[in-house]
């Protein structure tokens, strides 16, 4: 496994909620990444974002790991939750909030941090 | 064949039982699509598993770059 792939895997497994997106929360470069980020924010999730745009290899390695072909990709404690459509749908039905409560506790603090892959 | 029709035909092959199956070109540019499918194949599956079936059906156009953006809405047979 390449070093990049190891780094991605580490983020997926160790961050409470990870969002692989195009751009950053400050400068979102894609409508679907924006939809996913908004749903996660609205659900009060602590989000760690990773921008896939700086290096095409990031997206390739991520998809090899997850088997999910599109960006964004959202993981809660290592589990793939899906892309923008699924996260929006789960937020609308309240399931995203219960999933987060279950995985991280209901006293979780919303937060945002950006992880940069070297 | 336009991409919209290609996608629709690939999805019909994969979901022959679909009671609803629509492919919408969201921007008119032929590369941003909304796919809506109701099929018995989705029953009992999580949303991730349901969307995976759609990605499998569209593996070729997803792989060759003819789809820039794909929105998916799936549900079991009504």
| Helices and strands counted in chain A (H then E) | 5, 7
pTM: 0.93
B53, B41 in Cβ contact below 8 A?
yes
A105 touches chain B (CB under 8 A): no
A3 touches chain B (CB under 8 A): no
What ipTM did this prediction achieve? 0.90
Please name the residues between 41 and 70 in chain A that touch chain B, using a CB distance below 8 Å. Answer: 67-70
Tens-place pLDDT, residues B45-58 = 999 999 999 999 99
Query: In the numeric block, which tokens belong to residue A23?
Result: 């751009």
The CATH number of B3-75 is 3.30.300.90
Enumerate domains of chain A plus CATH numbers.
3-115 (3.40.30.10)
Tens-place pLDDT, residues A53-84 = 999 999 999 999 999 999 999 999 999 999 99
């Amino acid at each position: 496994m390449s070093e990049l792939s190891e780094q991605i895997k580490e983020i997926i497994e160790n961050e409470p909620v990870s969002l692989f997106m195009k751009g950053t929360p400050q400068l979102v470069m894609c409508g679907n990444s924006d939809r996913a980020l908004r749903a996660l924010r609205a659900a009060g999730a602590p989000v760690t974002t990773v921008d896939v745009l700086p290096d095409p290899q990031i997206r390739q390695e991520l998809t090899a790991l997850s088997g999910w072909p599109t960006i964004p990709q959202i993981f809660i404690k290592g589990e793939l939750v899906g892309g923008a459509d699924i996260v929006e749908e789960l937020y609308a039905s309240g399931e995203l909030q219960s999933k987060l409560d279950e995985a991280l506790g209901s006293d979780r603090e919303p937060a945002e941090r950006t992880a940069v892959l070297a | 064949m336009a991409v919209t029709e290609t996608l629709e035909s690939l999805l019909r092959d994969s979901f022959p039982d679909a009671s609803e199956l629509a492919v919408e070109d969201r921007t008119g540019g032929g590369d941003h699509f909304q796919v809506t499918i109701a099929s018995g194949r989705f029953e009992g599956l999580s949303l991730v598993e349901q969307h995976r079936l759609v990605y499998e059906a569209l593996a070729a156009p997803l792989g060759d770059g003819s789809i820039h953006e794909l929105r998916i809405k799936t549900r079991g047979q009504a």
